[in-house]
A and B are shown apart, each in its own frame.
Chain A
Amino acid sequence: EVQLSESGGGLVQPGGSLRLSCTASGFIFNTYAMTWVRQAPGKGLEWVSTLSGSGTTTYYGDSVKGRVTITRDNSKNMLYLQMNSLTAEDTAIYYCAKVREVAPMHPFDFWGQGTLVTVSS
Chain B
Amino acid sequence: DIQMTHSPSTLSASVGDRVTITCRASQDIGSWLAWYQQKPGRAPKLLIHRASTLENGVPSRFSGSGSGTEFTLTISSLQPDDFATYYCQQYNSYWTFGQGTKVEIK
Choose the segment among A20-28, A44-52, A71-79 that binds chain B (4+ C-beta atoms closer than 8 Å): A44-52
Q: Do A47 and B46 touch (CB < 8 A)?
A: no
> Size range of the interface on B?
20 to 34
> What total count of A-B pairs have CB within 8 Å?
52
Does A106 reach chain B (CB closer than 8 Å)?
yes
> Size range of the interface on A?
20 to 34
State which residues 77-118 of A face B: CB under 8 Å: 95, 100, 105-109, 111-114
Q: Do A114 and B94 touch (CB < 8 A)?
A: no
Nearest neighbor of B6 in chain A, beta-carbon distance = A44
Interface string of B43-63 (1 = CB under 8 A from A): 111100100000100000000
Q: Do A107 and B94 touch (CB < 8 A)?
A: no
A45-B87, A106-B49, A106-B91 known; A113 vs B97 contact (CB < 8 Å):
no
Does A62 reach chain B (CB closer than 8 Å)?
yes
The residue from B1, B32, B46, B99 contacting A44, defined by CB atoms under 8 A apart: B99
Q: Interface on B for A, CB 8 Å cutoff?
A: 1, 32, 34, 36, 38, 43-46, 49, 55, 87, 89, 91-92, 94-100
The residue from A35, A59, A62, A95 contacting B1, defined by CB atoms under 8 A apart: A62
Sampled A-B contacts (16; CB under 8 Å): A35-B95, A37-B44, A44-B98, A44-B99, A45-B38, A47-B95, A50-B95, A59-B94, A100-B49, A105-B92, A107-B34, A107-B49, A107-B89, A107-B95, A112-B43, A113-B43
Nearest neighbor of A62 in chain B, beta-carbon distance = B1
Query: Which chain B residues border A35 with CB–CB below 8 Å?
Result: 95
Q: Interface on A for B, CB 8 Å cutoff?
A: 35, 37, 44-47, 50, 59, 61-62, 95, 100, 105-109, 111-114
Q: Do B87 and A44 touch (CB < 8 A)?
A: yes
Query: Which chain A residues border B91 with CB–CB below 8 Å?
Result: 105-107
Query: Which chain A residues border B95 with CB–CB below 8 Å?
Result: 35, 47, 50, 107
Nearest neighbor of A107 in chain B, beta-carbon distance = B34
Complex Cα distance A35/B1, Å? 18
CB distance from B33 to the nearest CB of A (A): 9
CB distance from A6 to the nearest CB of B (A): 10
Q: Do A109 and B55 touch (CB < 8 A)?
A: yes
